[in-house]
């Protein structure tokens, strides 16, 4: 009886951990969306609104009307672009239609084509399309790691490898960036590692990270 009670307690503890991870990820996503709406799309719509009000001024010279109209068209186009980008960040169409492998390929190709970073991506797993709801977390983990490597690590080269080992799907990620002191990981809020660990917890996987100053970063997680 005691053994059974301990096992039940462990199950409750694990479920609670996963629930907290889900809540944390949802809150982070909501914060990211809110910031994008306010800082990006909201600011552009304010410019559009201001220019529309300027058109109401009586007896405006034709040259000023043309300039204001040009501004409205320009910022409307930018707002639409930001909206599309945000929609993509919420649920990439390629990922939804063709699965995780295609989603990662497109993500890497965009960064390579824009000459942002060089990426070596190798996948030796046939992802089950029926697991796409779970795979969105794998995709988000890679997005977060790539952003960290580029924005914070100043990396110029990144490697992403997927392999199946002992019946488990393993992702190995590394970069050649500036790295950081693991003892100060908690203070690096911009690194977004809490988001990564939360999503790994949702996937019921394990997560390890290795890094040293000026020696890049290495991350391994299973799902």
d(CA 140, CA 24): 14
34 pLDDT tier (thresholds 50, 70, 90): confident
Is the domain of 86 the same as that of 97? Answer: no
Q: pTM above the 0.85 mark?
A: no
Torsion angles phi and psi, residue 112, rounded to 5: -70, -45
User: In the 3-class helix/strand/coil scheme, how is 133-188 assigned residue by residue?
Assistant: HHHHHHHHHHHHHHHHHHHHCCCCEEEEEEEEECCEEEEEEEECCCCCCHHHHHHC
Is the domain of 124 the same as that of 158? Answer: yes
How much is the pLDDT for 67? 94
Q: CATH code at 143?
A: 3.30.565.10
Domain carrying residue 55: 2-90
Q: Which residues pair with 171 in a beta bridge?
A: 162, 221
Range name among 15-19, 114-118, 182-186 with the lowest pLDDT average: 15-19
Residue 186: is its pLDDT beyond 70? no
Is the domain of 30 the same as that of 18? Answer: yes
Q: Which of 73, 90, 107 is the last residue of a domain?
A: 90
Q: Which of 90, 123, 152 is the last residue of a domain?
A: 90
């Amino acid at each position: 009886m005691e053994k059974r009670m301990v096992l039940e307690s462990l199950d409750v503890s694990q479920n609670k951990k996963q629930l907290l991870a889900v809540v944390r990820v949802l809150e982070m996503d909501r914060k990211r969306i809110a910031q994008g709406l306010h800082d990006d799309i909201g600011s552009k719509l304010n410019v559009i609104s201001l220019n529309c009000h300027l058109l109401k001024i009586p007896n405006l010279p034709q040259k000023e009307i043309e300039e204001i109209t040009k501004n409205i068209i320009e910022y409307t186009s930018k707002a639409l672009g930001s909206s599309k980008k945000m929609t993509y960040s919420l649920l990439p169409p390629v990922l939804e239609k063709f699965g995780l492998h295609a989603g990662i390929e497109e993500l890497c190709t965009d960064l390579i084509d824009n000459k942002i970073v060089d990426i070596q991506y190798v996948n030796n797993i046939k992802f089950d399309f029926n697991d796409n709801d779970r795979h969105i977390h794998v995709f988000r983990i890679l997005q977060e790691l790539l952003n960290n490597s580029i924005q914070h690590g100043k990396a110029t080269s990144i490697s992403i490898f997927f392999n199946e080992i002992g019946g488990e799907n393993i992702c190995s990620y590394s970069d050649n960036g500036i790295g950081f002191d693991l003892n100060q990981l908690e203070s690096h809020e911009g690194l977004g590692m809490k988001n990564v660990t939360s999503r790994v917890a949702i996937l019921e996987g394990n997560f390890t990270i290795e890094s040293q100053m000026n020696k890049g970063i290495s991350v391994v997680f299973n799902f």
